[in-house]
Amino acid sequence: MVAPEESMKIIVGGKFKDYPEGLRLSALIRQENVETPEYVTVALNDDFVEAAAFDEIALKEGDSVEFLYFMGGGGE
């Protein structure tokens, strides 16, 4: 018997979501279908995360993740 994967609640963009415990930040970015993921800014618990660390960071219960997107329009 394989133990069922433990799930955790994290907050993504202000909303509670269930994800498997220990999910990597890079996997979350994929699962959340982040637009132009190579140019997204990520804040984890109110601190910016460098893109190089996306693969290393394992998310924990209660973590809050924000995706900040480039928006370049306004004039023309």
Using CB under 8 A, list all residues that contact other proteins.
13-14, 36, 38-39, 41, 43, 46-48, 66, 68-76
Integer Cα distance of 26 and 52 in angstroms: 10
User: Shortest gap between Cβ of 39 and other proteins (angstroms)?
Assistant: 5
Torsion of CA 18, 13, 33, 70, to 10 degrees: -160
User: Shortest gap between Cβ of 35 and other proteins (angstroms)?
Assistant: 9
Nearer to other proteins, 43 or 58 (CB): 43
Name residues whose C-beta falls within 8 Å of residue 53's C-beta, 6 or more positions apart in sequence. Answer: 25
Nearer to other proteins, 6 or 50 (CB): 50
